[in-house]
């Protein structure tokens, strides 16, 4: 019984795992940094760094002020904190290895509750759109 459930879970994951991601105005991946879709992060890779720009509900740039971001990667038993730098447009974080998860905790102000966003940095090439999987352009399956 356990084997059948494991196999079913694996098949479901493989069947439904591939779908496009929401893209931002600069072609980056959109992450939700609020509970009501009023703050987004657009993730792009430049060199060996993730650049995470802050965008409002209309996907327009947000001025940097008191916002903070923490970034981690690695396995749950041994998470690795990543250095986060702030720039005029958002945040800069080192790129993780392909196949690893990037977990971001965003605060719009110091006393705010953190909102967590995460994605797997999968650099394999999508057969449908020829983009890396983490930023796939394919339409979501219905």
111: tokens are: 């006393």
Domains and CATH numbers, the chain: 23-135 (2.60.40)
The rounded mean pLDDT for the chain is 87
- pLDDT for position 76: 84
Tell me the two tokens of residue 76.
């749950």
Residue 124 is predicted with a pLDDT of 95
pLDDT tens digit sequence for 26-74: 999 999 999 999 999 999 999 999 999 999 999 999 999 999 999 999 8
> Residue 84 has which token pair?
């986060």
21-30: average pLDDT: 94
DSSP 15: H
pLDDT classification of 20: cutoffs 50, 70, 90: confident
């Amino acid at each position: 019984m356990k084997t059948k459930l494991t196999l079913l879970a694996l098949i479901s994951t493989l069947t439904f795992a591939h779908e496009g991601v929401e893209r931002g105005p600069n072609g980056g991946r959109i992450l939700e940094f609020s509970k009501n879709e009023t703050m987004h992060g657009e993730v792009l890779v430049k060199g060996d760094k993730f650049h995470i720009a802050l965008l409002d509900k209309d996907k327009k740039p947000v001025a940097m002020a008191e916002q903070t971001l923490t970034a981690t990667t690695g396995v749950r038993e041994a998470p690795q904190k990543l250095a986060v730098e702030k720039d005029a447009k958002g945040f800069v974080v080192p790129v993780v290895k392909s196949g690893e998860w990037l977990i971001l905790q965003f605060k719009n102000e110091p006393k705010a509750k953190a909102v967590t966003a995460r994605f797997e940095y999968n650099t394999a090439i999508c057969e449908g759109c020829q983009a890396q999987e983490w930023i796939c352009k394919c339409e979501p399956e219905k």
